[in-house]
Structure 1
Amino acid sequence: MSDIILKVENISKLYRLGIVGTGTLSHDLKRWFYKLRGKEDPYLKIGDTNNRAEAAESAYVWAIKDISFEVKQGEVLGIIGKNGAGKSTLLKILSRVTSPTTGEIKTRGRIASLLEVGTGFHPELTGKENIYLNGAILGMTKAEIKAKEQEIIEFSGCERYIDTPVKRYSSGMRVRLAFAVAAFLEPDILVVDEVLAVGDAEFQKKAIGKMQDISSSDGRTVLFVSHNMESMARLCERGILLNDGLIEYTGEINDVIDYYLSNNLEFRSIFEEDDLDENCYVKRVVLSNKDGESTSNFKFNETITLSFEVLKQKGGTNAFDLSFALVNSNNVVILSSSFSDVNNFAIDEGTNMFKVNINGNFLNKGDYKVRLFFYDKSKHQNVQRIDCLNFKINEIGFYKNAQVRRALIIPKLNWVKA
C-alpha cells in the first residue's frame, strides 16, 4: 500500500474581486450554460495572478494556480510564503472549508484543521461545553471527547476557567483550548495555520512538542503554515514556498527557508546614521573583507571585519558600552560581543574608530544580520539598537557531512591524537 496520504493535483482557486458572483445575471447564466454543456468556465481564462501589490487589470484573480504536491504518512510539511501568497487559501481547500475551482485532491483518512483562533467556539458556552461543540464540529464522537476531556483540559492549561464562558477568555486562552481539541482529535492529517503565534512562549513550545509527537510517535501527518522560521526548521522535514499563488520552490525545509529569506532580504554592507543628538552615537558601521573592500558576501574561510565610527559630542560621557550580536535567518543569536569585555577604551571628543574581526572557518553557510547596541551606562539604557547590516556566507567550507552542515557554527577545531 502506498504511503502517500495526501495527493494534490493541479488545484487552483479563482475569485472575483470586489463582489460575489460574476457581477451580472448574463454572466451567471453564461457560466451556468457552459457548465450544463460540460465545458470549462469561460471566466477561468481571464484571471490575474495573485500579486496583492499590483493594481488589477482583470476583475478575477487566481488566489492559487496549478498547485501540485504529495505528502507521505507521518511527514510534517511546512508551507512558507509572504502575506497574500495563497497559503491560507490552500489550507482552506485542503480542509474542505472551500472547494477548488479546478484540480483534484486525493486523501486517505480524517483531516482536522486549526485555521482560525477559536473557530466554532460559542462565546456564551463554557470552555468545557465548547470542547464538546468544537470536537463535534471536527468530527469527534461524544464518547471520544469524553475519553479525552481531562487530557484536553490539562494540555490547554485553562483548567481554572474551564467552567467559565469563553467570551471572558483572552485570545491566547482560546487558541490554547482550540489547539488542544484539534491535537487530541487524533486525525490522520492535522492542518495548522499560524495560530501558534497568538500563544505565549511556554504554550508555543508545548504545541510544537505535541505536533512532533503526533508525527513521529503516532505516525500522523501535519501541514504547518507559519512566519516563524525557527519553528518551521524545528518542526518540518520538507517545505513548499508559495509566491503569488504559485509554487516557487520545494525541497528540504532548511533549503526552502534559505531560499525564501535570501530572496526577501536586502543585503547591506554599510550603515550610516545622520541624526546624532545624544552624547555618543554610532554614526557608521561597515562590513569589509581582508582587502578592506566593503561587501555583504563572504566565503566560508574569509575573515569578516566590522568597523564602527562613533561620534562623541563635546562634554559627552565615557560611560557607555558598544556591542553587537550576529543573528541568523531563524532569528537565533549566534554570538554577541562588547568592547568592554576586553578593553576599557578611552573615548575622545569627535570621531572614534573601532574594529573587530570575525575569523573565517567559523560561521556556517547562510544569511546573517548585525544587531547593534549602544548602551549609556549613566542612563542605564540602550540609546541605539538597530539591525543595521545583512550579509551572506556563500559556501559550506571544509565539512561535507549533511548533519554537520546544519550546525549554527562550524569552527575548525584543533584535533590531537592522545
Structure 2
Amino acid sequence: MSNVILKASNISKQYRLGLVSSGTLSHDLTRWWHKIRGKEDPFLKVGEANDRSTKGNSDYVWALQDINFEVKRGEVLGIIGKNGAGKSTLLKILSRVTSPTTGEIKTKGRIASLLEVGTGFHPEMTGRENIFLNGAILGMTKKEIQQKEDEIISFSGCERYIDTPVKRYSSGMRVRLAFAVAAHLEPDILVIDEVLAVGDAEFQKKAIGKMQDISRGEGRTVLFVSHDMNAISLLTDRVVVLKDGKVYFEGQTDAAIKEYLKEGSTELSYVFEGQVKSPKIKKVKIHTSLPNNTHEFGKTLKIDFEIELPYEVENLALAFQIIDEFQNPIIHIWQIDSEFNIQRKKGSYNFKCIIDKTRLYMGTYSLKVYFTDSKNKTRFDFIESTCNFKVEMIKNKRNDYKWVSGTCKYIEDSKWLIENL
C-alpha cells in the first residue's frame, strides 16, 4: 500500500439533465430532510446509465458508477473509452475540479492537471505571468517557479511571444505553454486529458518524450486520456477502459486496447435509414473472398457504396481508408467525380470499388469512409468505422506467401464502377 499514490474507491457521479441543483424546491427539501436524519439521498436510487445515443426515461444520469482502481508511484495509467464514457468526468474528480456523488479519492502528493486548452490561464496576462499564476495554483513558491522558468519557456517554444497576452495565442501555443508549466513544476501526479491532440506533430513528440522522462526518469505518476491508440500503446503501463460510466476492462495496455477496439465497429455492413436532406452515404457493403467477412490474403476485395443525392452536385469525391485494429490507416483509395467527366444529377448511385490482389497482413480491419465536395472541400458525410473484416493467410502447394513486418508495403490497384439506381 505504501507504493500506491492514488486510490479511487467506489467513485460515482450523478447529474440531473439540464439543471444545476435538484431543480425543484421539493427535491431540495427531500434531500435535506434525508440528510439531517442520516439517511441515504433518495435520488441516488434513481437514474440511468449515461448512454448519449438513446433517449432515456429519467432526468438523472450516472456519468460514473462504482469506479475502483489504484495507481502506483511512477506508473503511467491510460484511461480510454468512447466519447461520453466518463473519462473527463473522472479526471475532473481526480483533479478536485468537481466532487463525486459517492466514493472518495485518496492521494499522496501534489496533482497537476491539464484538462482543457489553457486551463487556469488568464487571457489578459502574458505568458510569463501565467507561468507564475499556474505555478502558484499548483502550490509552488515563487523561487521554485523562477528556477524552472527558462526551461519552461524553452520547452514551450513560445519564447518570442512569452511577454504577449495569452488571449492573442493560438490554441496550439496555449496548450504548449500549459503542458510545459504542468510538466516542469514537478507534480507528484500529472493528469492529462486529450489536449495534446491540439498541438502539432513536433510538439506531440516532445510531450510524449517528456511524459516518459517524468514517469521513468523522475518516478512520478501520469494519468493519460487519449483517443490516439499509438500514444496510449507507447506511453502507458496499464489501461482502464470505461464504458457507459463503468470500468469495462482494466489490465495491460495491449489487452486493454484490443478490448476497447472490440467495442468499436462490429458492423458487417452500414445502412442509413434516416431522411436524406443532403448528399448521403446510404449503404456500405464489403464482399470478402470467404464467408463470415473473412478475406484471404492476395484475393480480390469488393466494396459497394450506395449514395443518394437530394439535389445536383458537380464535384463528388468518395474516399475510404482500410484501417487496422489500432485505427492506423493502411490503404487509402479515392474516387474523384471529375475523372469520369459525369455530372451527378439528383438520384441514387451505386459506386463499386474492386481491389485486385489485396495484400493485407493477417488481422482485423474496418473501413473509414469520407464523402465530400472535391472542389470546395465541403464534407457531406463521414463514417468513422464500419464493415469489420478479418484477413487470413491460407497456404497450399501453389501458394507460399512471405510476410513483411510492419504495415502493408504494397500499393493496391483498384478500379471503380458507377451505376445509376
Asked whether the 8 Å contact 2:297–2:391 carries over to 1, the reply is no
In the alignment, which residue of structure 2 is the partner of 1:47? Answer: 47
In the alignment, which residue of structure 2 is the partner of 1:305? Answer: 300
- Residues 28-67 of structure 1 show CA distances to partners (whole Å, capped at 9, x for unaligned) of 2321232222221111111222112223322221110111
In the alignment, which residue of structure 2 is the partner of 1:363? Answer: 361
In the alignment, which residue of structure 2 is the partner of 1:415? Answer: none
Asked whether the 8 Å contact 2:297–2:361 carries over to 1, the reply is no
Q: 1:77 to 1:66 in 2, by over 3 A?
A: same
Asked whether the 8 Å contact 2:330–2:408 carries over to 1, the reply is no
In the alignment, which residue of structure 1 is the partner of 2:326? Answer: 330
Moved more, 8-17 or 229-238: 229-238
Q: 1:18 to 1:269 in 2, by over 3 A?
A: closer
Asked whether the 8 Å contact 1:239–1:252 carries over to 2, the reply is yes
- Give ranges in structure 2 of 5+ residues lacking alignment: 272-283, 305-318, 335-350, 376-380, 395-404, 410-421
In the alignment, which residue of structure 1 is the partner of 2:236? Answer: 236
Asked whether the 8 Å contact 2:76–2:238 carries over to 1, the reply is yes
How do 1:65-76 residues align onto structure 2 when only pairs under 5 Å count?
A: 65-76=65-76
Name the TM-score, length of structure 2 as normaliser: 0.73
| Amino acid paired to 1:195 | V
Q: 1:371 to 1:44 in 2, by over 3 A?
A: closer
Cα distance in 2, alignment partners of residues 324 and 28 from structure 1: 53
Identity of aligned residues (%): 58
Q: CA offset at residue 333 of structure 1?
A: 3.9
In the alignment, which residue of structure 2 is the partner of 1:100? Answer: 100
| Amino acid paired to 2:365 | D
In the alignment, which residue of structure 2 is the partner of 1:343? Answer: none
Report the 3-state secondary structure (helix = DSSP H, G, I; strand = E; otherwise coil) of the residue aligned with 1:20: coil
Report the 3-state secondary structure (helix = DSSP H, G, I; strand = E; otherwise coil) of the residue aligned with 1:183: helix
Cα distance in 2, alignment partners of residues 396 and 308 from structure 1: 20
Asked whether the 8 Å contact 2:270–2:387 carries over to 1, the reply is no
Q: CA offset at residue 184 of structure 1?
A: 0.7
Q: 1:85 to 1:396 in 2, by over 3 A?
A: farther
Q: 1:128 to 1:355 in 2, by over 3 A?
A: closer
In the alignment, which residue of structure 2 is the partner of 1:342? Answer: none
In the alignment, which residue of structure 2 is the partner of 1:414? Answer: none
In the alignment, which residue of structure 1 is the partner of 2:83? Answer: 83
Q: 1:30 to 1:395 in 2, by over 3 A?
A: farther
In the alignment, which residue of structure 2 is the partner of 1:28? Answer: 28
| Amino acid paired to 1:305 | T
How do 1:43-192 residues align onto structure 2 when only pairs under 5 Å count?
A: 43-192=43-192
Asked whether the 8 Å contact 2:324–2:363 carries over to 1, the reply is no
Q: 1:394 to 1:108 in 2, by over 3 A?
A: farther
In the alignment, which residue of structure 1 is the partner of 2:249? Answer: 249
Q: 1:304 to 1:101 in 2, by over 3 A?
A: farther
Name the TM-score, length of structure 1 as normaliser: 0.74
How do 1:274-293 residues align onto structure 2 when only pairs under 5 Å count?
A: 286-289=286-289, 293=291
